[in-house]
Amino acid sequence: MKHPSVSVVLGSFNRSDFLKLTLGSVRQELAGLDGEIIVVDGGSTDGSLQWLMRQKDVLTILQHNHGTWNGVPVPRRSWGYFMNLGFRTASGDYVCMLSDDCLLVPGAIRNGMKAAERSIAAGTKVGGVAFYWRNWPEQNDYRVGLTLFGRMFVNHGLFRKCAVDEVGFADEETYSFYHADGDLGLKMWEAGYVCIDSPDSFVEHYSHANLQVRTSNLVRQKEDWDNYLSKWQQISGVEDVLAGQGWVMRSYDDPENTANQFLKVKDVANGVFMGRALAALKAVSRRLKRY
The mean pLDDT value of the chain amounts to 91
Specify burial of residue 104 (Cβ count, 10 A radius: 0-12, 13-18, 19+).
buried
Q: pTM of this prediction?
A: 0.90
Q: Above 70 in pLDDT, residue 289?
A: no
Under CATH, what is the fold of the domain 6-265? Spore Coat Polysaccharide Biosynthesis Protein SpsA; Chain A (3.90.550)
- For residues 36 and 53, what is the distance between their CA atoms, to the nearest angstrom? 15
Sorted by sequence, the CB contacts under 8 Å of residue 123 that are 6+ apart come out as none
Helix axes 79-89, 180-190, angle to 10 degrees: 60
- For residues 29 and 23, what is the distance between their CA atoms, to the nearest angstrom? 10
Percentage, residues of the chain above pLDDT 70? 89
Q: Where are the domains of the chain?
A: 6-265
Mean of pLDDT values over 164-175: 97
pLDDT digits (tens, 9 = 90+) for 41-69: 999 999 999 999 999 999 999 999 988 99
Q: Give which of 175, 27, 198 is closest to 112, Cα–Cα.
A: 198
Q: Give which of 248, 224, 242, 231 is closest to 149, Cα–Cα.
A: 242
Which is higher by pLDDT, 140 or 271? 140
Mean of pLDDT values over 82-109: 97
Angle at 142 between CA 138 and CA 147, to 5 degrees: 110
Q: Within a 10 A sphere around the Cβ of 150, how many other Cβ atoms?
A: 12
Instruction: Determine the pLDDT at residue 155.
Output: 96
The DSSP call for residue 200 is: E
Q: How many H-runs (helices) and E-runs (strands) does the chain carry? A: 9, 12
Q: Above 50 in pLDDT, residue 141?
A: yes
Instruction: Determine the pLDDT at residue 216.
Output: 59
Confidence of residue 290 (pLDDT cuts 50, 70, 90): very low
- For residues 156 and 40, what is the distance between their CA atoms, to the nearest angstrom? 16
Mean of pLDDT values over 103-124: 98
